[in-house]
Amino acid sequence: MRARYKPWADDYLKENNNIVVPNPSDYKGDWQAKFTNHAPIHLEIGTGKGQFIMGMAQQFPNVNFIGIEVVQSILVSAVQKVVEEQPGNVCFISDDADNVTDIFGENEVDKIYLNFSDPWPKNKHAKRRLTYKTFLEQYQSILKPGGEIVLKTDNMHLFEYSLVSFSQFGMELEEVVLDLHEFNDPTNIMTEYEEKFSAKGQPIYRCRATFV
């Protein structure tokens, strides 16, 4: 996802420290305290400009949503949406997904969304794909037993790779959809990338996988 470099991004994220959690590992094992409730926690990794997480937060007010995004200039757009709409059930972490086990305790997260993750097409970069086995190990640790990963992408190669990676890890595939928009699903919240690619007529793939 491209974003113009915003030299003020760091200051803006720090100013909005009620929305962008400053020292996220302080909440490790106690994220519900951040939301002052006992609702389930859903984590979006690579949250981008925040359209999906905002839509989900509105559709599911009884779920706590946390978005993690590594690029500050991109995260700014997501934070601006929360500042405007003031949902009580969304916050963000400005960090790399590679640190999730430092940030969340074991069995703390109910669901993980991977939306249009960077495909890293070269084999030498496979370890950076968010469905590489080292990431799956981390997701398994922070997810509750039976917790699921929901992946959406327009990229057939990343989709195939991820299905194989999930299976080799011993995960169970609960759903595999090859054209998500073939039938209108009013409950599907589109991401920025999903809108862009589906407008070009590209099929959107989705799968749901659980650790067993």
Residues near ligand SAM (CB under 6 A) are 1, 45-48, 68-71, 74, 96-98, 115-118, 191-194
CA distance 104 to 26: 9
Dihedral sign for Cα 122, 125, 129, 133, please: positive
Active centre residues (catalytic): 118
| Residue nearer to ligand SAM on the CB measure, 110 or 118 | 118
In whole angstroms, the minimum distance from the beta carbon of 37 to ligand SAM comes to 25
Name the token pair of 141: 């640790």
Does the annotation list 102 as a binding residue?
no
Name the token pair of 130: 């968010």
| Residue nearer to ligand SAM on the CB measure, 37 or 196 | 196
Does the annotation list 122 as a binding residue?
yes
| Alpha-carbon dihedral angle through residues 167, 179, 142, 122, given to the nearest 10 degrees | 70
Q: Could you tell me if residue 107 is left (phi over 0), alpha (psi between -120 and 50 degrees) or otherwise beta? A: left
SS3 call for 133: helix
Does the annotation list 152 as a binding residue?
no
In whole angstroms, the minimum distance from the beta carbon of 172 to ligand SAM comes to 24
Nearest to 72 by CA among 16, 124, 155: 16
Non-local (6+) Cβ contacts of 93 within 8 A are 20, 21, 24, 66, 67, 68, 69, 103
Does the annotation list 175 as a binding residue?
no
In whole angstroms, the minimum distance from the beta carbon of 160 to ligand SAM comes to 18
Does the annotation list 96 as a binding residue?
yes
| Residue nearer to ligand SAM on the CB measure, 117 or 140 | 117
In whole angstroms, the minimum distance from the beta carbon of 164 to ligand SAM comes to 20
β-sheet bridge partners, residue 45? 68, 114
Q: Annotated binding residues for substrate, as ranges? A: 122, 154, 191-194
Q: Annotated binding residues for S-adenosyl-L-methionine, as ranges? A: 44, 69, 96, 118
Q: Annotated binding residues, as ranges? A: 44, 69, 96, 118, 122, 154, 191-194
